[in-house]
Chain A
Amino acid sequence: MAAKGFVEISVEGCKGCGLCVHYCPVKCLDLNMADTNSYGLHYAFLKEPDKCIGCANCGVICPDAAITVYRKKN
C-alpha cells in the first residue's frame, strides 16, 4: 500500500536543526549523517517513506520552511 503522505525537503534550505525529526510522530525522518549540504550541515531526509502519514507536523515545525508536504487523495 502506498504511504498516506510524502514530503520533499530542500537540501540547501535545511539547517539540520532536527526539529522535524524530533516531532515526526512515526519517526520516518532523519538527519543524513553521511552527507552535508553546501553550508556543511547534515540535512534532513525521508528515511522511511512507507511510514509517512502526511500529518504535516514536520512542515509546520520547520523554522526555515524547507519542507513541502503532500497527502494521498482519498
Chain B
Amino acid sequence: MKEGYELIYQKPSTLLPRRMHYCPGCLHSTLHKLIMEVVEEMGIKEKTIGVSPVGCSVFAYDYMDVDMQQAAHGRAAALATAIKRMHPDKYVFSYQGDGDLAAIGTAETIHACNRGENFTFFFVNNGIYGMTGGQMAPTTLEGQKTSTSPYGRDPKKVGQPLKMAEMVSQLAGVAYSERLSLNTPGNVRKGKKAIRKAFEMQQQGLGTTFLEFASNCPSGWKCSPVESLGWIEKQMSPYFPLGVFKDVTTGVEKCSCADKQAK
C-alpha cells in the first residue's frame, strides 16, 4: 500500500477468493458481493444461512462464505422456511432468479410471504432465463425478444410481466418489500443499505423481507454490460419502478400494480 493513503474499499473477506462463473458484468456477481459485505459488516458470518436456487446462481454456495443449501428448482422459499423455523436465531435468506421465484416457484414464494416467514428474499429479476439460454420469463417485458419470444413478448398470449415486489407487498405477512437495482454506483450503495435493513428487520422478527433487484443478463440480452445497465434504466424501470412498496417500520404501503395495468 502506498504511504500516506488509507484503504477505503476492498473485496469483503466473506466472499471466497474464487473466480465467480458469471458472465462479465453480470449483476449476480454484484449482489453476491453486496450481501457478503453486509454479512461482514454486521459480523454475522457464523449466524447466516443462505439458500441458492436453480439458475445461473446455483453455485452461489461456492462463493459466499456462509452456510448454504441448494434447493430444487423454485423451492428455495420452502427450504428457507424450514431452515428459519429450525434456527429462528439465524439470518436466513433465499437467493433466486425470476424463472425460479416467479415461474416454477410462484406457489412457494407467495405462500411463504403470506405466512410471513421471517427470512429475506433476494430476487434477481433479469427478465429472462439466463442459465438455459435466454428463454422468456414471467418478467420479460412486453415486446422483448427472447429465444422463445422471437417476435417479442405478446401480452395477449402470455399476459403482462409479473410485478413481484408489488404483488407480495399486498400480503399481510410481508414486512418490507422494495425494488432496487445495482446498475449505478449510487444504486449499489442504496442496495447495500436495503440488504442491511432487511437483515435487521429479520432480527426483530417482523415478517418476510423481500428485495427485488432489477437486474441484467448481458449474454441473454445480447448486449454489452454497459448497455445492459442503461437498458435497466430506460426499458425496465418504467414498468418495474424502483422504490419501497411496503415497510412496516415506516408505515409505507403503496402499490403501483393497479395503476399501470389500468392504462
Contact = CB atoms under 8 A, between A and B. Distances in A.
Contacts, number: 92
A23 B184 contact: yes
A65 interface: yes
Interface residues of A, number: 31
B5 interface: yes
B11 A68 contact: yes
Contacts of B15: 65
A22 B226 contact: yes
B19 interface: yes
B225 interface: yes
B6 interface: yes
Interface string A49-74: 00000101101111111111111110
B26 A70 contact: no
Interface in B6-37: 6-12, 15, 19-20, 22-30, 33
Contacts of A59: 8-10
B159 interface: no
A57 B188 CA distance: 10
A70 B226 contact: no
A11 interface: no
B188 A61 contact: yes
Contacts of B226: 17-19, 22
Contact of B225 (A19, A54, A71): A19
Interface residues of B, number: 33
**Interface SS of B by simple majority:** mixed
Contact of A73 (B5, B12, B22, B188): B5
B1 interface: yes
Most chain A CB neighbours (cut-off 10 Å) among B7, B20, B184, B185? B185
Contact of A2 (B4, B6, B9, B184): B4
A34 B27 CA distance: 27
A12 B225 CA distance: 19
B4 A72 contact: yes
A71 B20 contact: no
Contact of B5 (A16, A22, A60, A70): A70
Contact of B229 (A15, A19, A70, A72): A19
B256 interface: no
- The 8 A-B pairs with the shortest beta carbon distances in the complex, nearest first, are A17-B25, A63-B29, A65-B11, A15-B24, A59-B9, A17-B24, A69-B9, A70-B5
17 contacts: A2-B4, A6-B2, A18-B225, A19-B25, A19-B225, A22-B226, A54-B8, A61-B188, A62-B30, A63-B26, A63-B27, A68-B7, A69-B8, A69-B10, A70-B2, A70-B8, A71-B5
